[in-house]
Amino acid sequence: MSSRDRLKIAFFITAKKVVAARVNVFLFLGFVILLGYIWQRDSFSVSFKAFLYFFPYLFLFLSQDMVKDEVDSGCLENVLFLDGNFRSYLAAKGYFLALTAISCSSIILLFFAVFGLATNQFAAVYLLQFLAGIVAGIYYLSLGGLLSFSLKGGSNVLVVILGQVFLFVGLLLSARQESGFLDALDGGAFPDLLSKVKFLVLALIFPQVVVAERFIVYGLGIGMLGVFFMIFQRARIRSLELERK
Amino acid sequence: MSDFAVRARNLSKKFGRVEAVRNAAFSLPKNKVTAFLGENGAGKTTTLKLILGFLRPDSGSVEMNSARVGYIPERPVFFSWLKGMDILAATARMNGIGRLDWPGLIARLSDKISFDPGLLGRKVQTCSLGNQKKFAYLQNLLLFPELLIVDEPFTSLDPPSIKSARELFLELKREGATVFLSSHLVSEVEKICDEFIIINRGNIIVQEDLNRIQNDYAFFRLSKPLQDKDKFRAQSAWFREEDNAVVMLIEKRRLCFLPDYLRENILGTPETPSLEKIFLFFIRKPFSAV
């Protein structure tokens, strides 16, 4: 079997999975409806900002059940995946999921862009912010993929979201003590090492922070970390064996 | 051209401290049905997975001499979101079969394994275990395998399907394919196999031609104690402990060359070796002379 055929089979199986998972479809439709609601209740710009900050979650949600479920269930012990082909399937799956999330978010972006250009509300920087959002999304996908080597079902996604919930609750509860850091966050400049470290932790748990215009430059770091996770993930896939649990 | 479909050389695999397969060396002759026998946990499935590339050996190598390899696990599991037709579509793509050839081909192949093609519109995981197994056969047949490896070929199948599976293996052999069956149902595989390989606690104990053993060899029971084990080892015989006796599997024509003290120890009449008896014989502890 040629590598092209292998890729086609991997894309075919993953596409069927994405469509079959109704929760994915509902989440996407729900997201679109929410954006429409915000636009109708408030404005184009608030709705677009909500889109930029929330679309990276599409990548995160698609990363559920990436590895462990399929390995443990035994469904990779199929004639389609002989001779180590299951490894190329698992690797190709990540690319397909990234492409799916990029395509879905690009479609929504297109609607915003068409309306924004027509009404003179669309700025070039929005495209940069969208790219930063994609970088954050790829970071989520690679992080979720890495976590799915040891976490089953959607628990890899849950862990990331719980981390964010704890982070926000922590920030809320300590708003008074952390007022310096919050001001720095608002201003986009971190005067001391401690606030830089705090921002790093924030960006690792909530990578969409790089969508903000003042933090776009940090997207490079998040992107590099995402690539590192991907490389690590590939290495783990290369050493993977099918031991049915 | 090589006369084997697969050759394993000194395959070893450990899971933690457990040595699942130890220096396994064997080859599957082309165009034959070979049975792979062993007790539960003997290392059969691990050996199959090493051959198929699902596991990596700690040492040793596998030489594959077949272009199209099929594999049916003991309990096939399919992606829960895929319908039978989706899986066949992916398999056909793998084998370069166009969609136009499908209906006739699928009907013909389904018939071979008594599978109802009407089930192809359902998600395979929602079918009964028996139908899932039959579907796995169908999926593999779509590859027109040169080598078909089946782990427990008869598990979950009803008697008519077991018969169909047996006929299928013989048909594949007639068409030039090699079949490798790992099974506990020794009486079933005996009806169709040409060769057998026995594995015990991760070690390949023996690989032999079943016809040769059944026609030329016989079991003899000998009373204990025996001596000079090394002397009769050289005479194409195997010895195993059995309660208060020793069982010997020996080539009948060599019986006359046995030392007198051994022939005097023979109890009762010789027994023709069935595959089941051969299997039970080889997994026993080898006899060590006192």
Q: Which residue of A has its CA nearest to B45?
A: A243
Q: Give the model's confidence band at A102: pLDDT under 50 very low, under 70 low, under 90 confident, else very high.
A: very high
Cβ pair B71:A82 closer than 8 A: yes
* Average pLDDT of the residues in A33-47: 93
* Average pLDDT of the residues in B18-41: 95
Per-residue pLDDT at B213: 92
Candidate from B53, B81, B90 with C-beta closest to A80: B90
Digit-coded pLDDT (tens) for B171-201: 999 999 999 999 988 999 999 999 999 999 9
Residue indicated by tokens 């909500």: A50
Residues of chain B positioned with their CB less than 8 A from the CB of A25: none
* Average pLDDT of the residues in B62-80: 94
Residues of chain B positioned with their CB less than 8 A from the CB of A89: none
Residues of chain A positioned with their CB less than 8 A from the CB of B14: none
Other Cβ atoms within 10 Å of B52 Cβ, number: 23
Q: Give the model's confidence band at B290: pLDDT under 50 very low, under 70 low, under 90 confident, else very high.
A: very low
**Spatial CB neighbours of B150, under 8 Å, sequence gap ≥ 6:** B71, B72, B179, B180, B181, B182
* Average pLDDT of the residues in A6-25: 90
Per-residue pLDDT at B92: 87
Question: Bigger pLDDT: A207 or B101?
Answer: A207
**B4-201 — its CATH code?**
3.40.50.300
Query: How many beta-carbon pairs under 8 angstroms link A with B?
Result: 75
Domain ranges of chain A: 3-238
Candidate from A5, A241, A243 with C-beta closest to B93: A5
Is residue A49 within 8 A of residue A129, CB to CB? The reply is no
**Spatial CB neighbours of A119, under 8 Å, sequence gap ≥ 6:** A44
Per-residue pLDDT at A61: 93
Element housing B247 (H / E): strand B245-251
For an interface test with B, give the residue of A5, A24, A64, A78 to mutate (most B CBs within 10 A): A78
Per-residue pLDDT at B192: 94
Q: Give the model's confidence band at B225: pLDDT under 50 very low, under 70 low, under 90 confident, else very high.
A: low
Cβ pair B143:A78 closer than 8 A: no
The residue type of A122 is: F
Q: Give the model's confidence band at B288: pLDDT under 50 very low, under 70 low, under 90 confident, else very high.
A: low
Residue B282 has pLDDT above 70, yes or no: yes
Per-residue pLDDT at B197: 96
CA distance A156 to A149: 9
In 3-state terms, what secondary structure has residue B198? strand
Q: What single-letter DSSP state applies at residue B97?
A: -
Buried b (16+ CB within 10 A) or exposed e, B150-173: bbbbbbbbeeebbebbbebbeebb
CA dihedral for B274, B280, B286, B290, sign (positive or negative): negative
Residues of chain B positioned with their CB less than 8 A from the CB of A81: 54
Domain ranges of chain B: 4-201, 215-282
In 3-state terms, what secondary structure has residue B249? strand
* Average pLDDT of the residues in B247-255: 84
CA distance B130 to B132: 5
Candidate from A1, A8, A77 with C-beta closest to B73: A77
A245 by Cβ neighbours in 10 Å (0-12 / 13-18 / 19+) ranks as exposed
Query: Does A170 contact chain B (CB < 8 Å)?
Result: no
Other Cβ atoms within 10 Å of A38 Cβ, number: 17
Q: Which of A55-69, B114-128, B224-238 has the lowest mean pLDDT?
A: B224-238
Mean predicted lDDT score pLDDT of chain B: 89
Is residue B24 within 8 A of residue B10, CB to CB? The reply is yes
Residue indicated by tokens 């050289």: B234
Cβ pair B55:A9 closer than 8 A: no
Digit-coded pLDDT (tens) for A173-202: 887 777 777 777 777 777 788 888 888 888
* Average pLDDT of the residues in B110-116: 92
CA distance B124 to B115: 12
Q: Give the model's confidence band at B1: pLDDT under 50 very low, under 70 low, under 90 confident, else very high.
A: low
Cβ pair B70:A79 closer than 8 A: yes
CA distance A71 to A237: 11
How far B239 CA lies from chain A's nearest CA (Å)?
Answer: 36
Q: What single-letter DSSP state applies at residue B71?
A: E
How far A69 CA lies from chain B's nearest CA (Å)?
Answer: 10
Per-residue pLDDT at B230: 47
Per-residue pLDDT at A35: 94
Cβ pair A241:B69 closer than 8 A: no
Question: Bigger pLDDT: A141 or B254?
Answer: A141
* Average pLDDT of the residues in A153-164: 93
Nearest to B144 by CA among B177, B188, B104, B106: B177
Residue A2 has pLDDT above 80, yes or no: no
Query: Does A77 contact chain B (CB < 8 Å)?
Result: yes
Candidate from A9, A70, A74 with C-beta closest to B90: A9
CA distance A57 to B5: 49
Global pTM?
A: 0.88
Query: Does A3 contact chain B (CB < 8 Å)?
Result: no
Residues of chain B positioned with their CB less than 8 A from the CB of A236: none
* Average pLDDT of the residues in B7-21: 94
Query: Does A80 contact chain B (CB < 8 Å)?
Result: yes
**What's the order of all strands across the beta sheet hosting B195-200?**
B69-72, B147-151, B178-182, B33-37, B195-200, B203-209
Q: Which residue of A has its CA nearest to B57?
A: A241
Per-residue pLDDT at B27: 95
Per-residue pLDDT at B234: 44
For an interface test with A, give the residue of B18, B74, B88, B94 to mutate (most A CBs within 10 A): B94
* Average pLDDT of the residues in B282-288: 77
Separation of first and last alpha carbons in chain A:
29
* Average pLDDT of the residues in A55-84: 92
Candidate from B53, B73, B86 with C-beta closest to A16: B86
Question: Bigger pLDDT: A193 or A145?
Answer: A145
Is residue B196 within 8 A of residue B35, CB to CB? The reply is yes
Q: Which residue of A has its CA nearest to B148?
A: A79
ipTM of the complex: 0.86
* Average pLDDT of the residues in B199-209: 93
Residues of chain A positioned with their CB less than 8 A from the CB of B16: none
Fold for the domain defined by B215-282: Alpha-Beta Plaits (3.30.70)
- Strands B195-200 and B203-209 come out as antiparallel
Per-residue pLDDT at A162: 96
